[in-house]
Structure 1
């Protein structure tokens, strides 16, 4: 109640404004009449936005960048990475296959690393990129990049030398370094997926990106075989023995090795008894069948970009006695990411007896 006072003959007298009844007993009309002359003050404290006008401050928000099974519908950006060394022979075929990819080329960025080459890889690559990017149809890609970096690799590209046992440790470490340099130069905040694709792939499905993202796996690889005809029959040779499932014998062997030794797979010097995905599967069967893997090869890898952003790269040193792509798989699994293979989904590599490939 509001009290009003009057001073009469030196005495203060009080009276109450309003009905002589409790507020709880007021009718709605009496309540409205009693409070009609009152207004409760309301303070609005709107905070002004922070405005930054400095051109030297860049803001990157990675929260909206996701990798989903519906990458095409969500217009998620894909980065295709290819390391090259003495690969001029395969570049035209490589771009023929890239041009056939059905994932929107406007959402694809290409990046290549050229290192330690003695042939015309750089010039052939540059002209092929120029040819593709100046087309007026839907073939040109969103962007392209060429990274040059030599690592002092002196191994020849002959099949005998680059696949010999003695070359495996140094070769895999050098390849890991090349992949990491390419990744660090090309990965941008807008990329959702990273697709590693070697230059010496002979054939692959046109929808391979859509097929792979639909599995929603952190790391996913296909089976890699090659065509070779003997007496008119395709023997469907197995190429990539770096995609495998771990064995007890390999774990015991690694426990005895020096931590700096790279365990090269598929050589009599190190018998591991691992289960090779290359010896499994049939391209005529269900292509979506998955198996977990502990090691992977590098011919064709699809990776969620956040896996790389989390620090999972290609060790150029012995990580759990593995390097490069096999070390990458070990590192990804150590960090809690899933590594899987598709034994019935086949990508065809060139037959290494035909001509030496890239690194």
Structure 2
């Protein structure tokens, strides 16, 4: 019942009665219990439909607090939020060669204590900490398995749930970052309560997640990054991922691919603005590409346009298989380059079958850089079964 009220925002008893199928006496008892525990608040009265004005209920955002932790190859981010997922504080780490699991967890513990002290919140009011991490992982066991691409050693078979629970003495949940990002976007979007959602994150790699009727759909194993191995060209370029497919989607659509192509253009002398931004091609980074794109560099514009077209082809493949109502696009490729978003969605729509009858909706993720961490905090919210 708690989550039913939370999803509605503000709701009357009559609406809850109609949608829950409970008897009046049972619903009244549950609501009274939630009010007594301060999980719910009475927030006024709704419009009358002929009788007494109905009492309106909302969940109490200050009943408790949750932490969300993102762990990615380039950075990690910790957020503190209330139970309405309003962010109260955040902290970001660079995942450099010194960011071993042990050091990161020690720093997370220190930042949790700092945030709570700054907000004058006792740790007894913390409901839990959720983690959205790169995979592969075992979410049930709470273990990060064998992720590739970390600069620091030690990121293999990390029992992060167990170790953080020992440090913090609060419940900890683990899921992959694409799932938590989709969960965060779901809670942030008031009109998404009944949609079939597809989420695609485009950054260092490609990651996807699927939701139906508010529930994340899980496979037999964690396959968050498998979407990047969808074959776009069977005789295409070799994958940079060990064991990856030739012509894989991720080989055409990723920050690493764009950086590699920009370095080739720099060496050929075609990208004049990039030459002004970096003395050496190997020093070129994604931020340089965005700056050159905004300045109108023709070579960089061509690179982004080609990647966006490939992105749209892959999206059309997913849409033609999964038929989502809405596709949420997140990650730096979509948030930092509007031209990329526009071209990718245009291509996807053009190649979607039954496009005249089937109007899929595209949206940019509303949580931007905080999507994974905020969604990780929402993992804990989903555990509330009152």
Normalised to the residue count of structure 1, the TM-score between the two structures is: 0.30
Greater helix fraction, Structure 1 or Structure 2: 2
Q: Which has the higher contact order (CA 8 A, sep 6+)?
A: 1
Normalised to the residue count of structure 2, the TM-score between the two structures is: 0.28
Higher-Rg structure is 1
